[in-house]
Amino acid sequence: MSSLVLLDEISPGIGLLTLNRPDKLNALSRDMLVQLQARLDEVETNSEIKVLILTGAGGKAFAAGADIAGYKGRREREFMDFQFAGRRFNDRLEAFPKPTIAAINGYALGGGFEIALCCDLLVVSTSARLGLPEGLLGLSPGGGGTQRLLRSVGRHCAADLLLTAWRMKGERAYEVGLASALCDPDDLLSVAKGKAEAMLKVAPLALTEMKRLIRLGEDASLPAALSFEQEVLFRLYCSDDGQEGIDAFLEKRQPQFKGK
């Protein structure tokens, strides 16, 4: 099996996961999903990688969605299995304990956009085009796109993207708060790396816990979310990292966090 997903450590603490099917605009296939799961296994068990950047090879696309050729012929079982596999990967990526950044040049459509929506931050270039155009195929998103987009940008912006099959430009994604940074295509990885380097300065336990607060707080009532927030704070205060951070601040030095 060829390497459809590449994993490199581009600087200390920062991993780069690259969808590597540029001749097909990094379209998602069953084999790619299998390799994506395996790469996440590697990153999760690699204590040297603290932050993960996801991008697409070739510069023309992050991922232009699923490989539609595989949909032909009303093969219901195969189609459903592929959709379930995509959802399993997306759910895992969203819940991944380490911070994730989607670095998007060119197309992030359909399943590719769904993967990006599972990341903690999106960095987009001016060449980025994001959307869920499944309606043009007589279909709808199936990897969480409708629900994650709704929670990211609200009902009316989500409806615009979904019901008109509109492809949102990078500039607009930044304007509506979907992307945290907008840059020239040539600067994409350096900007994403800058975000990752900022994350490396934050205590790793705090990073993991704040990721969970963001994810779980979306669907919790405000009183429940506030109680969860305080419970997290109390545990972090009692951690070695929490006390190290306080001591370093008072002693006017850089903290030495150890993740415990």
Distance separating alpha carbons of residues 195 and 186, to the nearest angstrom: 16
Q: pTM to 2 decimals?
A: 0.93
Distance separating alpha carbons of residues 90 and 116, to the nearest angstrom: 9
158 and 214 share a domain?
no
Give percent of the chain above pLDDT 90. 90
DSSP label at residue 11: E
Closest by CA to 114, choosing from 100, 128, 132, 96, is: 132
Q: Confirm whether 143 is domain-assigned.
A: yes
pLDDT at 207 over 90: yes
219 and 192 share a domain?
no
Q: Which of 42, 114, 175, 251 is catalytic?
A: 114
| Average pLDDT, rounded, for the chain | 94
Q: What is the pLDDT of residue 69?
A: 78
Q: What is the pLDDT of residue 112?
A: 97
Distance separating alpha carbons of residues 94 and 114, to the nearest angstrom: 10
Q: How confident is the model at residue 217 (pLDDT cuts 50, 70, 90)?
A: confident
> Which residues, in sequence order, are bridge partners of residue 182?
124
71 and 91 share a domain?
yes
Tell me which amino acid residue 216 is.
L
Q: Confirm whether 231 is domain-assigned.
A: yes
For helices 204-217 and 222-237, give the axis angle rounded to 10 degrees.
Answer: 170
Q: Is 151 helix (H, G, I), strand (E, B) or coil?
A: helix
Q: What is the pLDDT of residue 260?
A: 87
Q: Confirm whether 260 is domain-assigned.
A: no
**What is the tens place of the pLDDT at every residue in 139-191?**
999 999 999 999 999 999 999 999 999 999 999 999 999 999 999 999 999 99
Instruction: Find the helix or strand (DSSP H, E) in which 101 lies.
Output: strand 100-104
Q: Which of 44, 48, 78, 134 is catalytic?
A: 134
Distance separating alpha carbons of residues 66 and 27, to the nearest angstrom: 5
Radius of gyration of the chain (CA): 19
104 and 218 share a domain?
no
Please give the residue range of the domain that contains residue 61.
Answer: 5-200
Q: What is the pLDDT of residue 195?
A: 98
114 has catalytic annotation? yes
195 and 217 share a domain?
no
Buried b (16+ CB within 10 A) or exposed e, 181-195: bbbebeebbebbbeb
Specify whether the CB–CB gap between 123 and 181 falls below 8 A: yes
**What is the tens place of the pLDDT at every residue in 99-130?**
999 999 999 999 999 999 999 999 999 999 99
Return the structure tokens found at 254: 């850089």
64 and 175 share a domain?
yes
pLDDT at 55 over 70: yes
**End residue of a domain, out of 200, 224, 239:** 200
**End residue of a domain, out of 184, 200, 216:** 200
**End residue of a domain, out of 200, 219, 241:** 200
Q: What is the largest CA-CA distance in the chain?
A: 68
Tally of domains in the chain? 2
231 has catalytic annotation? no
Q: What is the pLDDT of residue 243?
A: 95
